[in-house]
Amino acid sequence: MGRYHGRHSARHAAPRGRPHAPADAGATRSGRHAARSGTRGPARLRLAASKPAALSMAIVAATTTTAMAAGSSTAPGTVTLTLSPNAVSQSAEVTATLAQDAARLAGERAGMNASRAEAREKIEAETAERAEAEALARKEEAERVARERAEQQEAERKAAALEVEAAQENPQQAAQYLMPEYGFGTDQWGCLQTLWMGESDWRWWVENPSSGAYGIPQSLPADKMAEEGPDWKTNPVTQIRWGLNYIKLSYGTPCNALDFWNAQNPHWY
């Protein structure tokens, strides 16, 4: 008896155009996925290394030998890295060179900082010295101006005191202005004042009735004072100049003249 083929048996056949997936289809997809995963790796690691570190790693990588451990004592897939003595030596040399470079750079940087500090100190010192010199120059200039102003004012006062009318009114002031011209200091003023007070009481018009001596210094004869000027009769300045010159030539100083005057009886010099 032959095998029965039902007319609906085709309905349970595999769909047309979609062949049956092999039993290990899942495994195949898993393998492809694993292959792709193996290519990309479980995670992307980005390492930012400095140049010295990268150089050392390159040396280590170039001289590293990889050995797969065998036997049950080492787990499958374990990688052992072994550095050769040459790699260790090269790494040490690189480290030493980097250290030397770092020390050199630090030294150069310190030297530059020291040079800058020294230059800055020099500039500051020069600036301070220049400012001090300028201040001293300004002070000296101010002192010079003040001295010249004082001298000018003194000259103006002297000129005013030596005017005929002013000298007639105050002959002693005129004498004080004239004394330095003959080398007499203020220490001689008291002697001169006393000497001429005794001779004429500082009166420019007085005349000794017995001898004819005339004026403040009591010149004898009176016209000897014409050596200093023709106005000797009315100008106390002319009389004082003649008297100071006479004292200097005859006694040296007014105090010497006063000592001689005091030693005479009646007084004269």
pLDDT band at residue 46 using 50, 70 and 90 as cut-offs? very low
Average pLDDT, the chain: 80
In this prediction, residue 81 carries a pLDDT of 60
Q: How would you class 258 by CB atoms within 10 Å of its CB: exposed for 0-12, middle for 13-18, buried for 19 or more? A: buried
Most confident of 20-24, 36-40, 166-170: 166-170
Position 76 pLDDT exceeds 70: no
185 against 20, higher pLDDT: 185
pLDDT tens by residue, 118-158: 899 999 999 999 999 999 999 999 999 999 999 999 999 99
- Domain limits of the chain? 166-262
Model confidence band, residue 39 (pLDDT cutoffs 50, 70, 90): very low
pLDDT at site 54: 52
Supply 10's token pair: 């085709």
54-to-61, 105, 120 alpha-carbon distances in Å: 10, 21, 41
Cβ-contact 242, 226 below 8 angstroms: no
80 — pLDDT class (breaks 50, 70, 90): low
Q: Give the pLDDT confidence of 163-209 residue by residue, as tens digits.
A: 999 999 999 999 999 999 999 999 999 999 999 999 999 999 999 99
Q: Which residue has the higher pLDDT, 162 or 20?
A: 162
DSSP state for residue 79 in the 8-state scheme = E
pLDDT in tens, 209-218: 999 999 999 9
> What would the two tokens of residue 146 be?
């003040």
Read off the pLDDT band of 58 (50, 70, 90). low
83: part of which helix (H) or strand (E)?
A: strand 79-83
Does pTM surpass 0.85? Answer: no
Residue 113, strand partner residues: none
Q: Which residue has the higher pLDDT, 115 or 248?
A: 248
Buried b / exposed e over 211-237, threshold 16 CB at 10 Å, is: eebbbbbbbeebeebeebeeebbebbb
pLDDT value of residue 125: 93
Which two structure tokens, joined as six digits, stand for 38? 């193996």
